[in-house]
Chain A
Amino acid sequence: MKIIHIDTTNGLCGALFVVLGLFFAYQSWMMDMGTALRMGPGYFPLLLAGILLLLGIIVLIQATRVASEPIGPLAWRGMLLILPAPIFFGLTVRGLGFLPAIFITALIASFASMRMKPITALILSAGVTLFSYLVFSRGLSLPYRPFGPWLGF
Chain B
Amino acid sequence: MDLIDNLILGFSTASTLWNLFFCLIGVLLGTLIGVLPGIGATATIAMLLPITFQIGDPVAALIMLAGVYYGAQYGGSTTAILINMPGESSSAVTAVDGYQMARKGRAGAALATAAIGSFFAGTVATFLIALFAPPLTAIALKFGAAEYVSLMIVGLVSAVVLAHGSVIKALGMVVLGLLLGLVGTDVISGAPRFILGIREYADGLNFVAVAVGVFGIAEILRNLENEHERSVLIRNVQGLMPTREDFRRMTAPILRGTVLGSVLGILPGAGAILAAFASYTVEKRVSRHPEEFGKGALEGVAGPESANNAGAQTSFIPMLTLGLPTNPVMALMSGAMIIQGIVPGPNVASEQPALFWGIIASMWIGNLLLIVLNLPLIGLWVKLLTVPYYILFPIIMAFCSIGIYSVNSNVYDLYLVAFFGILGYALMKLRCEPAPLLLGFVLGPLLEENLRRAMILSKGDPTTFVTRPISAGLLALAAAVLVIVFLPAIGKKRAEVFVEEGA
Contact = CB atoms under 8 A, between A and B. Distances in A.
A37 B459 contact: yes
A84 B421 CA distance: 11
Given A55-B175, A140-B54, A77 B426 contact: no
Interface string B160-179: 00000010110110011011
Interface stretch (B33-41, B79-87, B118-126, B222-230): B222-230
Contacts of A68: 166, 431
B425 interface: yes
A5 B494 CA distance: 27
Interface in B398-415: 398-402, 404-406, 411-415
B159 interface: no
Given A94-B411, A132-B402, A140-B54, A12 B430 contact: yes
A118 interface: no
B465 to A, nearest CB: 12
B223 to A, nearest CB: 8
Nearest to A128: B398
A105 B147 CA distance: 47
A89 B431 contact: no
A85 B168 contact: no
A85 to B, nearest CB: 5
Contacts, number: 199
A116 interface: yes
A67 interface: no
Contacts of B131: none
A44 B182 contact: yes
A113 B390 contact: yes
Contacts of A90: 401, 405, 411-415
Which of A9, A94, A109, A128 has the most chain B CB atoms inside 10 A of its CB?
A109
Nearest to B190: A41
A132 B224 CA distance: 25
Contact of B179 (A31, A45, A109): A45
B411 A91 contact: yes
Interface residues of A, number: 73
A115 B227 contact: yes
Interface string B10-48: 000000000000000000000000000000000000000
Contacts of A89: 401-402, 405, 414
Given A24-B194, A37-B459, A93-B405, A44 B448 contact: yes
List 4 tightest A-B contacts by C-beta distance, closest first: A37-B460, A90-B414, A78-B224, A113-B390
Interface of B: 54, 166, 168-169, 171-172, 175-176, 178-179, 182, 186, 188-189, 191, 193-194, 217, 220-222, 224-227, 388-391, 393-395, 397-402, 404-406, 411-415, 417-418, 421-422, 425-426, 429-432, 447-448, 451-452, 455-456, 459-460, 462
27 contacts: A13-B172, A36-B462, A38-B456, A39-B452, A41-B186, A44-B451, A44-B452, A48-B182, A52-B172, A52-B176, A52-B179, A55-B171, A62-B166, A71-B429, A75-B221, A75-B224, A79-B221, A86-B415, A90-B411, A90-B413, A109-B398, A112-B394, A113-B227, A113-B390, A115-B227, A132-B402, A136-B402
